[in-house]
Amino acid sequence: MRSWRNGHKFRVALLVLGVGYPFVVYFALGHVPPAALVLGLLALLALRLAFARAPDRRGAPMAPLLGLAGGALLVLLAVAASPAAALKFYPVLVSLGFAAVFGYSLLRPPTIIERIARLRDPALPASAIPYLRNVAVVWLIFFVANAAISIATAVDGDLALWTLYNGFISYVIMGALFAGEVVIRYYRRHGRTEA
C-alpha cells in the first residue's frame, strides 16, 4: 500500500513538473545554461518513461512508451543543433504522444475514450460507441493542431509567446474542450431519459 502511494505521489509530481515545464524554461533560461536544462528535460523524459504503465493484458497501446522514447531521441538530436531550441520541443512531443494514443486507439478499437467510459459504466450501450469514437477524433485533431502551434511558437523564437501558449493557452483550450464534452454528454443523456 505504501509503495503505491509513493509511486502515485511521484507520478503526480512528474505531471505537475510536466505541466509547469514552460514556466521552468522561461524563468531558468537566462540563469541556467541551456545544456543543463536539456539534461533536466532528458531526466524528465526518462522518469516518465520509467513510470509509464506497460500495456495491460487487453493490449493497451504502446504509443505512450514509444512516444516518450522517440521524444528523448528527438531531444538528443535537437541538442546537436541548438540546446535552447531543443528545450522548446517538449510540449510538441507531449502533444504528439497523446495524438499517437488517440490515433492508435481509433485504428485498433476500442478507443481510449471508450476504455475510460467503460471504467465508469462497463455496460455501455452500443449506441454510445459512435459518439465516443467522434470524441476520440476531436481529441486527436486537437493534439495534432496543438503540436503544430507548439512547433510554430518554438520556431518563432519569442520565449514569452512560447511560454504563454504552451504554459497557459493550450491548457485553457484543453479545459474548454473537456468541459464542452461534459456538457454535451450531459445533454445527450438528459435528452435520452426525457424521450
Long-range contacts of residues 127-132, Cβ cutoff 8 Å, at least 24 apart: 131/188
pLDDT of residue 57: 45
Domain boundaries along the sequence of the chain = 2-194
Q: CB–CB of 162/153 below 8 Å?
A: yes
Per-residue pLDDT 10s for the chain (195 aa) are 455 456 677 778 877 877 888 888 888 878 888 778 877 877 877 777 677 655 444 444 455 556 666 666 666 666 666 777 778 888 888 898 889 889 999 999 999 999 998 998 889 899 899 999 999 999 999 999 999 999 999 888 789 999 999 999 999 999 999 999 989 988 887 775 444
HSE-CB at 2 with a 13 A cutoff on CA atoms is 0
pTM equals 0.78
pLDDT of residue 1: 46
Residue by residue, DSSP assigns 59-73 as: ---SHHHHHHHHHHH
Q: How many CB atoms lie within 10 A of CB 3?
A: 7
The answer, yes or no, to whether the previous bond of 61 is cis (omega within 30 of 0) is no
pLDDT of residue 139: 97
- Shortest CA distance to 111 belongs to which of 146, 139, 70, 92? 139
The grid coordinates of residue 180 equal 464542452
Q: CB–CB of 12/35 below 8 Å?
A: no
pLDDT of residue 90: 82
- Shortest CA distance to 35 belongs to which of 93, 81, 71, 73? 81
State how far Cα 160 lies from the chain centre.
22
Integer Cα distance of 66 and 74 in angstroms: 12
Residue by residue, DSSP assigns 108-125 as: SSSPHHHHHHHHH-TT--
Integer Cα distance of 92 and 7 in angstroms: 26
